[in-house]
A and B are shown apart, each in its own frame.
Chain A
Amino acid sequence: MIGIIRTLWLTFLHLFHKNDTVPYPETKPYLSPRYRGRIILSRDPNGEERCVACNLCAAACPVDCISLQKGEKDGRWYPEFFQINFSRCIFCGFCEEACPTYAIQLTPDFEMSEYVRQNLVYEKQDLLISGTGKYPDYSFYNVSGLAIPGKDKGEAEREAAPIDIHALLP
C-alpha cells in the first residue's frame, strides 16, 4: 500500500523533470567523431585515393556488403569500382578496423534514408570524399616501402636506404 502511494508520488514528480528526448529534426543530438554512421573513402594529404584495393574490408565485412575490384596505375593500387550496399550494412565498423591505410572510415552521419532500395548501393564517387577524414597527416605510401613514381625505395619516412646486395661493403 505504502509502496503504491510512493510509486504514484515518484511518477508524479516526473512531471517536473526535464525531458530526456529531444525534438529530433530541429535539435540534433551530439554525435561523437567515433560514431559509426555513413561509410566514406578518404584521400591522403596529397589528394590521392588512400584505398589500395586490398580487399581486407570486404573480407572483414560480416554481411558482405562491400565489393571492389583492384586496378593498377603507376605502381599504385586503386579500386576500379568500390560499392557498399547500405541496405545490408550493419555499421559494425569492422571494415574501418581492417583497413591498413585508414581509407575506409565511418562518419557521424546516419540520415541516409531512400525511397528506392537500389539507391542505397553507393558507388565509389558517392563514397569518396576530398579530405583526409579522421587522420589528416597519414599517407600510406609515405610510410610503406613500395616504390612509386616520385618516391623510390628507401625514401619513405623512417626508412633506411635499401642495402645494395651486389656491393661487397658491409
Chain B
Amino acid sequence: MIVPMPIIIVVTFAAVMGVAAVSTMVERRLLGFFQDRPGPNRVGPFGMFQVVADAVKMLFKQDWVPPFADKPVFLLAPIVGFMAVLLEFGVIPITPHWSIAGDLNVGLLFVFAMMGLAVYSVVLAGWSSNNKFALLGGMRAAAQMISYEVFMGLSLLGVVMTAGSFSLHDIVLAQSRCWFVIPQFLGCIVFLIAGIAETHRLPFDLPEGENELGAGFHTEYSGMKFGMFFLAEYAGVAMISALITTLYLGGWGGPILPPFLWFAIKVVFLICFFILLRAALPRPRYDQLMSFGWKILLPVSLINIVLTGAILLWQAGA
C-alpha cells in the first residue's frame, strides 16, 4: 500500500498533536489513580473533553509579552522547541510503509540534531524572559540537556553497532529476531534515564522546579505560547517513547496484531511508564542530577559500548 507523502505528513502531524494533547489528560487521570483519587472526570464522559476545555482556555487567554522581555527571542523560543520535537517524528518509522523519512540513512543522528536544537527553546525562553527565575531555569536546562545528550548518544551506540546502521528503519528490521532491550539492557536503561532528563520531565524537571523556581523557564509565558511549551513537552515524551520503541522494543514488530497496533501499544505503555515515574519518584537536587549523570551514567554507557564492541568482534571472529 503506497500512501502519498502529503497525506502521511498531515496524518502524522495530526497524530502527534493528538497524542500530545490527549496525554495531558491521560497523565492527570493516571496521576489521580496513583494517588487514590479520580482525577479530572467532569468534562464529558470520563473527563475526555478536558483536553478540549484546556485547549480553549489556552487559546483564549491573553497572549501577553512582558515589556521587559526581548520580544523576538521571546516569540522564537516556544516555536523552536515545538518545531524541533515535531521534526523528530519525521524519521520515526511507525510501520514499514508509514513514515515520513524512516529510511533516512542518518535518521538517528537527525533525531539527535533536533534534540540539540530543542535545548535552545528552553535556554532562550529563560534568557529572553528577563526574569531571574526564568534565567536560572534556562541555565539548568542548558546544563542538564547538554550533559544528558552525551549519555544518550553513547547509550545508543550499542544499538547502532549491533544493527550496523543509523537508519531507524534498518534498526527495526535488525530486531526481527530479538528485541535490543535484551542484549542492550544497560544501554536501554541509560537511554530511558537520559530521555527523561532530555524532555525535562519529572523526576528530572529541575528547569521547571515549581517549588524553587516557580515554573522556571516558562514563568513569563502565558496563553498559547505556554501551551506550545506544554505540548512540546508531551510530544517530547511521546517522542522518547517512540524512540525507545523503535530502538529497543522492536518498533512495529510483533505477532498477530497489525504493525501499527504494536507500535501504538508499545508507545502508550511507555508513556504510562513515564507517568508512573512522575507519580513515584522525588526530584533530585541539581548537583545530584549532574553528578549522577557524569559519574554513573557516563561510565555505564561506556562499559556498554566496550562490551557490545567486544562481543561483536568475538562473534565476527568466531
Contact = CB atoms under 8 A, between A and B. Distances in A.
Contact of A19 (B37, B276, B280): B37
A17 interface: yes
B38 A15 contact: no
Contacts of B279: 11
Contacts of B35: 14
Nearest to A20: B36
B33 interface: yes
B281 interface: yes
Interface string B1-38: 00000000000000000000000000000100111111
A35 B280 CA distance: 35
B289 to A, nearest CB: 14
Interface in A3-54: 4, 7-8, 10-12, 14-15, 17-21, 23
Given A11-B276, A14-B33, A19 B281 contact: no
Interface of A is mostly: helix
Contact of A8 (B33, B36, B41, B277): B277
Contacts of B280: 7-8, 10-12
A12 B36 contact: no
A11 B38 CA distance: 15
B34 A11 contact: yes
Nearest to A21: B37
A17 B281 CA distance: 19
A15, A18, A23 — which one has the most chain B CB atoms within 10 A of its CB? Answer: A15
Given A7-B281, A11-B276, A19 B34 contact: no
Contacts of A18: 36
Interface of A: 4, 7-8, 10-12, 14-15, 17-21, 23
Given A14-B34, A15-B33, 7 more contacts: A8-B281, A10-B280, A11-B280, A14-B33, A15-B34, A19-B37, A21-B36
Interface of B: 30, 33-38, 41, 276-277, 279-281
15 contacts: A7-B281, A8-B276, A8-B277, A8-B281, A11-B276, A11-B280, A12-B280, A14-B33, A14-B35, A15-B30, A18-B36, A19-B38, A20-B36, A20-B37, A23-B38
